[in-house]
Structure 1
Amino acid sequence: MDEREFDYLNVIPLVDVMLVLLTIVLTTSTFIATGGIKVDLPKAEAVQDASLQQPLTIAITKEGTVWVENSETPLPELATALAEVSRDTPITIRADRDIALQLFVDLYEAVKQLEFTTLSLQTEQQP
């Protein structure tokens, strides 16, 4: 039996596996970065730089549901949910563009009555 020398290494299957893994990582990281709560953000021309301190996120869905971080919180219970949070913590509101303005104003007033010092509204930059 004649032994043949090993001339090359076929790397095409390795590249295919690496591309699939890269796709999975990028898809997962995008989902984690944008959050799991579906909110269609309004558009704005000015984009504000993020604060150095990690903000607390309050989201309002299209249906009018209020979420503090990842837990659903009715608006009357917002004071209870934010009782343990430091008043210096920045709060970011992610409100769907199709919600009633009164719901946003009610949420804004509730947060201001709790004496939080930094409050911002998250938007998407217009193309």
Structure 2
Amino acid sequence: MGMQMDSGGAGRGRRSMNAEINVTPLVDVMLVLLIVFMITAPLLTTGVDVALPNSSAQNLPAPQSTPLSVSVDADGKVYIQETETPIEELTSKLYAITGEGYEERIFLRGDENVDYGRIMEVMTRMQKAGFRNIAMVTDPQAQIRGAQ
């Protein structure tokens, strides 16, 4: 990779062409992009903003596919994923999404400021419709933050 001098000139040096590709800048750019995507990907999957209640229970194993979540916000509004749904239409929309015999876990997320009866109403409607694998989501980090 050094400079080669041509001995055939009148003291003028000629450089030979270097045909190698320098991959260091490419690797640097790819690592920066990887870090950016690793940081932003979890932020894109938050869904409806609810303040989850505290719990010291152990987390359930994460599902292999994208989980179906039903959320109840502080105003008592019900959401399937990020779509607001009237509670009267909850089971029919769940059937439309899942079809018959949905065996995957459904995550029920309720804001800590919403009436407990409202969350139980949503859960009861889902159970009566045949959805038996319902998990209530809490925020284990809130317990740690509250102890400090």
Q: Distance in 1 between matches of 2:30 and 2:103?
A: 44
Say which SS state the counterpart of residue 95 (structure 2) adopts: coil
Runs of 4 or more above 6 Å deviation? 17-20
Q: Tell me what 1:88 maps to.
A: 103
- Offset of 1:19 from its aligned partner? 9.0
Of 39, 46, 52, the residue aligned with 2:50 is 39
- When the two chains are superposed, the root-mean-square deviation of aligned CA atoms in Å is 2.8
Report sequence identity in percent.
27
Q: Tell me what 1:30 maps to.
A: 42
Of 24, 49, 66, the residue aligned with 2:60 is 49
- Offset of 1:88 from its aligned partner? 1.1
Task: Please tell me whether residue 123 in structure 1 is matched to residue 146 in structure 2.
Answer: no
Higher relative contact order (CA 8 A, sep 6+): 1
Q: Retained in 2: the 8 A contact 1:42–1:123? A: yes
Q: Tell me what 1:79 maps to.
A: 91
Say which SS state the counterpart of residue 120 (structure 1) adopts: strand
Q: Distance in 2 between matches of 1:63 and 1:18?
A: 44
Say which SS state the counterpart of residue 42 (structure 1) adopts: coil
Q: Distance in 2 between matches of 1:42 and 1:83?
A: 28
Q: Retained in 2: the 8 A contact 1:41–1:122? A: yes
Say which SS state the counterpart of residue 112 (structure 2) adopts: coil
CA 1:22–1:53: 2 relative to 1, 3 Å: closer
- Offset of 1:48 from its aligned partner? 2.6
Task: Please tell me whether residue 70 in structure 1 is matched to residue 82 in structure 2.
Answer: yes
Q: Tell me the matched-pair count.
A: 123
Q: Retained in 1: the 8 A contact 2:47–2:81? A: no
Extract unaligned runs of 5+ from structure 2. 1-23
TM-score (norm 1): 0.74
Q: Distance in 2 between matches of 1:52 and 1:26?
A: 20
Extract unaligned runs of 5+ from structure 1. 1-10, 12-16
Q: Tell me what 1:112 maps to.
A: 127
TM-score (norm 2): 0.65
CA 1:64–1:20: 2 relative to 1, 3 Å: farther
Instruction: In structure 1, give the amino acid aligned to 2:57.
Output: A
Q: Distance in 2 between matches of 1:37 and 1:27?
A: 19
- Offset of 1:24 from its aligned partner? 4.2
Q: Distance in 1 between matches of 2:39 and 2:68?
A: 24
